[in-house]
Structure 1
Amino acid sequence: MDLLEHQGKEILSRYGIETPRGTVVDTPESLPAVDIPLPWVLKAQVPAGGRMKAGGIRMAHSVKEARRATDEMLGSSLHGCRVDRVLVEEQVPVDWEWYLCLTIDRSLRMPRLLFSRRGGIEVEETGEMLQLPVNPLVGLQEHHLRRMEKPARPVARRLYHLFREMDCELAEINPLAVVDGRPLALDAKITVNHNALYRHPELLQHDPRLTPLEQEAQKMGLAFVQEEGEVGVIANGAGLTMATMDALQDYGARGLFLDLCGTDDARQVERALSLMHRAGPRVILLNLFGGITKCDTVARGVLSALEKGMDTPIVARIRGTNEEQARQMLADRVESHLSFQEAVHRTAALGRGS
């Protein structure tokens, strides 16, 4: 999970790494209330790099100038990401810029510390990068830190603690500036291992890139992607779900993605159907290959959802463990097909309204 810059800086601050004064706004009208001395740096909050060159970072010497720039950024697309928030920060005089990063070296199977005495844009092209493997059993040591400038050493130590405790795949400060002799993190890029998010529920609660339904699904343990589409695809397994969506596209329909993630709980199936119903597709395609997720369990979840008033039409293709029992349970309640192609063709037609 890639955090936005302001989220990363909040975490840096918790670990004692100083950042510029800043606040996040989502409307230009909020700017007059910002209690930070001008001039300001305005930063579009998207999980992507290269914002400066793309016009996602701008300077403002007055509130009027800031309102104009913020109005242009909000609602725009930057590297394929919609800008919904802008970080407003104080502009600071920089004496020097460094680059500091911790990442995973997958070839060595351990963290790697990267440090450069030149930070900022295109730092990777300078060829002056210090790269030090860090044995996770002993952690960051003095012999690592001695190869860095003194002001950067305490920042590196704190960043390493953050990297380990927050289950990071990447913790990058670029640039790490020297301002009046003290280190200051002017930017932050933090990636948290998706499989460790259950240990950091606060990150899920404040992810602006997820829709409310996607956030709800994540809390349920379901994999849901709410895109524009006429067909709600529910299957067990990401591969089967994606294959079903590809087949729908061949028949001229678009699908919303929901993976049951291997559940054998009828209540979880009911919740998945309710969630998909609220996403508003014209029809739901339930494509199930029963193994761990038994077919009759899914059928009980479907019946429960229907009894509670879910009225979105369902086309089902159910094969695997207890499939005959499941088909009997759902007879006269949902449209059922044995053939994958027939189920997809029929669902696509309903989705298109034909």
Structure 2
Amino acid sequence: MKLHEYQAKQVFADAGLPVPDSELAASVDEVVEAADRVGYPVAIKAQVQVGGRGKAGGIELVDSEEEAREAADRILGMDLKGLHVDRVLVEAAVDFVNELYVGVTMDRNEGKPVAMVSTKGGVDIESVAEETPEAISRVHVDPSFGMHPFQARKAVYDAGVERDVAMDVASVLTTLYQLWDDKDSTDIEVNPVMITSDREVVCADAVMNIDDDALFRHADLREMEEEGDTAQDDLEAKADEYGFDYVRLSGNTGIIGNGAGLVMTTLDLVDYYGGEPANFLDIGGGAKASRVANALDMVFSDENVDSVVFNIFGGITRGDEVAKGINEALESFDEIPKPVVVRLAGTNAEEGMEILNTDLVTVEKTLEDAVQRAVEYADTEADK
């Protein structure tokens, strides 16, 4: 379960973390009223669960009622990376002189939670980790004992945080770890933690993801999940309707497979051949024609997708059933929305190949060829 920023900040505030004054708004008039109460300047922030909102136009800083109206009118109702914006957070602007990153997640390799601090806040932390990993200090925590104060201080000092705010940042990190532990979180972070000219530490953003299997222990978070459903995007709603495990990614090559391992392999190959995966969609074993048609409807509904690769290995799933589903789905269109590449192997694969309407799809014998062709199609479509 992913909390929206405004929900995570509510959890943070309840735990004593320093967050800016803010109010949630769903209309232009509500934005103006909230801004008057919070006090200008304010940041108007789209409440959708994607990164890079600022660069995409989903966050604006305003100094007056007129600017607030104009910004709210632009942001409310906009399509932000495929997600519809129907609520914004009106938040007191922070006059900062420095930005930090602070977070806690699970290190699967070590089998322990890891606390992280970086002075390169306010940017994509994944890029920092890839390009300059030394810019992130890391401290592993034994979950049996929790985070000791010296560990928080070590993470902060190793990151190079200025000494006059180091203890306050360490306090933020300690509280984040406690929340991570108490709330059965999978990831929790603030990016950025802002340092003001008065040397105050402010949590200007909030990310908190919760283990779904632990929600029965957290009635307050379950209520937030229900509240967040009103902002659920069309793709998530459709995935729930069809009963799919669907994860939206940032690329443009759509992926459909039967089995999590097969789908992950396809994602890796898309990346290997220079493409970017647009999604994870596992149709499961034994999928009938109607389920395959629903999977195509899911991927075609994602406006980021420029091509689709079908990777089916038949065990329980029969290749001829998959082929029927693909034909049924595609024959319902006057014009195919996006190029589709199909690779079938395993049970009844040959029969499926014979059934496929090759006027509607491209058929490849190997997974490698199918992925390469799908990446080529995606590149061509993206250039149009």
Range class of TM-score, shorter chain: 0.5 to 0.7
How far is 1:177 from its partner?
A: 1.6
Match for 2:3: what amino acid? L
What residue in structure 1 maps to residue 142 of structure 2? 135
Match for 1:141: what amino acid? H
> Quick one: structure 1 residues 133 and 75, their matched pair in 2 at CA, closer, same or farther if it must change by over 3 Å?
same
Q: Would you say 1:194 and 2:216 are equivalent positions?
A: no
> Quick one: structure 1 residues 340 and 92, their matched pair in 2 at CA, closer, same or farther if it must change by over 3 Å?
closer
Q: What CA distance in whole angstroms lies between the structure 1 residues aligned with 2:204 and 2:329?
A: 50
Q: Deviations over 1:267-313 (max 9, x none)?
A: xxxxxxxxxxxxxxxxxxxxxxxxxxxxxxxxxxxxxxxxxxxxxxx
> Quick one: structure 1 residues 345 and 98, their matched pair in 2 at CA, closer, same or farther if it must change by over 3 Å?
closer
Contact 1:197 1:203 in 2 (8 A): no
Q: What CA distance in whole angstroms lies between the structure 1 residues aligned with 2:84 and 2:188?
A: 23
Contact 1:197 1:204 in 2 (8 A): no
Q: What CA distance in whole angstroms lies between the structure 2 residues aligned with 1:87 and 1:238?
A: 36
How far is 1:223 from its partner?
A: 4.7
Contact 2:115 2:140 in 1 (8 A): yes
How far is 1:211 from its partner?
A: 7.6
Match for 2:140: what amino acid? P
**TM-score, structure 1 length as denominator?**
0.63
How far is 1:156 from its partner?
A: 1.2
Q: What CA distance in whole angstroms lies between the structure 2 residues aligned with 1:342 and 1:20?
A: 54
Name which of 135, 148, 153 aligns with 1:146.
153
Q: What CA distance in whole angstroms lies between the structure 2 residues aligned with 1:342 and 1:238?
A: 14
> Quick one: structure 1 residues 249 and 194, their matched pair in 2 at CA, closer, same or farther if it must change by over 3 Å?
closer
What residue in structure 2 maps to residue 105 of structure 1? 107
Match for 1:39: what amino acid? P
**TM-score, structure 2 length as denominator?**
0.58
Match for 1:135: what amino acid? D
What residue in structure 1 maps to residue 12 of structure 2? 12
Secondary structure of 1:173's counterpart equals: strand
What residue in structure 2 maps to residue 29 of structure 1? 29
Residue pairs, 1:16-165, within 5 angstroms: 16-34=16-34, 35-123=37-125, 124=128, 125-126=131-132, 127-147=134-154, 148=156, 149-165=166-182
Q: What CA distance in whole angstroms lies between the structure 1 residues aligned with 2:38 and 2:48?
A: 22
> Quick one: structure 1 residues 8 and 341, their matched pair in 2 at CA, closer, same or farther if it must change by over 3 Å?
closer
Q: Deviations over 1:110-144 (max 9, x none)?
A: 11100013321245255411011111111101331
> Quick one: structure 1 residues 157 and 348, their matched pair in 2 at CA, closer, same or farther if it must change by over 3 Å?
closer
Name which of 209, 232, 252 aligns with 1:210.
232
The structure having more radius of gyration, on CA atoms, is 1
What residue in structure 2 maps to residue 333 of structure 1? none
Contact 2:38 2:92 in 1 (8 A): yes
How far is 1:94 from its partner?
A: 1.5
Secondary structure of 1:32's counterpart equals: helix
Tell me, which stretches of 5 or more residues in structure 2 are unaligned?
A: 157-165, 247-281, 300-319, 334-384
Q: What CA distance in whole angstroms lies between the structure 2 residues aligned with 1:193 and 1:245?
A: 31
Tell me, which stretches of 5 or more residues in structure 1 are unaligned?
A: 227-236, 257-338
Name which of 185, 190, 203 aligns with 1:185.
203
Contact 1:31 1:63 in 2 (8 A): no
Secondary structure of 2:48's counterpart equals: coil
Match for 1:184: what amino acid? V
Match for 1:133: what amino acid? H
How far is 1:347 from its partner?
A: 8.8
> Quick one: structure 1 residues 342 and 161, their matched pair in 2 at CA, closer, same or farther if it must change by over 3 Å?
closer
> Quick one: structure 1 residues 341 and 138, their matched pair in 2 at CA, closer, same or farther if it must change by over 3 Å?
closer
Match for 2:142: what amino acid? N
Taking only aligned residues, the RMSD between alpha carbons, in angstroms, comes to 4.0
Match for 1:132: what amino acid? V
Q: What CA distance in whole angstroms lies between the structure 2 residues aligned with 1:24 and 1:341?
A: 45
